[in-house]
């Protein structure tokens, strides 16, 4: 029996945990996920022997969210590499990225550029603070997002200080999982309209009450 997302092609340009977790979910559901990595990094780097224990743990964490995926190395600052990406996107169903505002536009693969190539493409942008507001350009981590959202104050003893959770809440549940849900909804909508959508997944918003 075919998997639910059998035949769906995903281009994954994300780097940190939320994006790869999102595309891991899609891959687990049967999507064909292709990671676009920097030359010499990503899967190539994670596959090297790791005598250092801390480095080995980081490599294991990388591999844990990149199962069911293939990868290609492209330097998107190079014109020929961008043309390869455009060819991939012409046949793709979903594009996922998690850069700060302005980065993908400089690389020539923002929503408007890729939509012009493939109007059926579902484009998902994962961010920490969303596309608008005073924090949109800031770098953040899981602890920052759950703190701003007020979630950190709900963890720990009633009369004590907040406790850092043992797992990443905003990155995985707030970012990656909500992005996957948005993409799945957009796939269903495209079946009705024939057109792709822009999926905006912000970790702070997903954690806010």
Those residues with Cβ within 8 angstroms of residue 23's Cβ, 6 or more apart along the chain or in another chain: 10, 12, 14, 31, 33, 35, 69, 96
Q: Is it the case that residue 159 has pLDDT exceeding 60?
A: yes
Contact 96, 67 (CB under 8 A): no
pLDDT of residue 151: 86
What confidence score (pLDDT) does residue 46 get?
A: 47
**Domain spans in the chain, listed from the N-terminal domain onward:** 9-141+168-207
Q: What percent of the chain has pLDDT over 70?
A: 89
Q: Which two tokens stand for residue 76?
A: 């998107």
Under 8 Å between Cβ of 76 and 41: no
pLDDT at 44: 46
Cα–Cα distance list, 131 to 14, 49, 169, 199 (Å): 17, 39, 21, 11
Is 80 exceeded by the pLDDT of residue 13? yes
Does 171 qualify as catalytic in the annotation?
yes
Q: Does 121 have pLDDT greater than 80?
A: yes
CATH superfamily of 9-141+168-207: Crotonobetainyl-coa:carnitine coa-transferase; domain 1 (3.40.50.10540)
Q: Which of 12, 32, 110, 171 is catalytic?
A: 171
Catalytic residue among 141, 142, 178, 200: 141
Task: Determine the pLDDT at residue 41.
Answer: 64
Write out pLDDT tens, residues 44-103.
444 455 567 666 566 655 677 899 999 999 999 999 999 999 999 999 999 999 998 889
Has residue 148 got a pLDDT over 60? Answer: yes
In this structure, are strands 69-73 and 32-37 parallel, antiparallel, or unpaired?
A: parallel
Q: Is 178 a catalytic residue?
A: no
Q: Assess whether pLDDT exceeds 80 at residue 31.
A: yes
Give pTM, 2 decimals: 0.87
- Grouping H, G, I as helix, E, B as strand and the rest as coil, residue 121 is coil
State the Cα–Cα distance between residues 183 and 22, nearest whole angstrom.
Answer: 9
pLDDT tens digits for range 160-192: 888 888 788 889 988 999 999 999 999 999 999
Question: Is the confidence at residue 147, as pLDDT, over 70?
Answer: yes
């Amino acid at each position: 029996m075919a998997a639910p997302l059998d035949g769906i092609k995903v281009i994954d340009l994300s780097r940190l945990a939320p994006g790869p977790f999102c595309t891991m979910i899609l891959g687990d559901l049967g999507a064909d996920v292709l990671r676009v990595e920097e030359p010499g990094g990503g899967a190539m780097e994670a596959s090297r022997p790791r005598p250092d224990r801390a480095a080995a743990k980081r490599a294991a964490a990388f591999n844990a969210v990149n199962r069911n995926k293939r990868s290609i190395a492209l330097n998107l600052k190079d014109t020929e590499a961008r043309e390869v990406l455009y060819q991939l996107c012409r046949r793709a169903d979903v594009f996922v990225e998690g850069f700060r505002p302005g980065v993908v536009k400089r690389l020539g693969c923002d929503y408007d550029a890729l939509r012009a190539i493939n109007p059926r493409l579902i484009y998902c942008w994962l961010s920490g603070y969303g596309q608008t507001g005073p924090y949109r350009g800031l770098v953040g981590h899981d602890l920052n997002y759950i703190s701003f959202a007020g979630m950190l104050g709900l963890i720990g003893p009633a009369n004590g200080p907040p406790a850092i959770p043992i797992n990443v809440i905003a990155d995985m549940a707030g970012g990656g999982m909500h992005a996957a849900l948005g993409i799945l909804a957009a796939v269903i909508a495209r079946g009705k309209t024939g057109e792709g959508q822009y999926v905006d997944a912000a970790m702070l918003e997903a954690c806010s009450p």
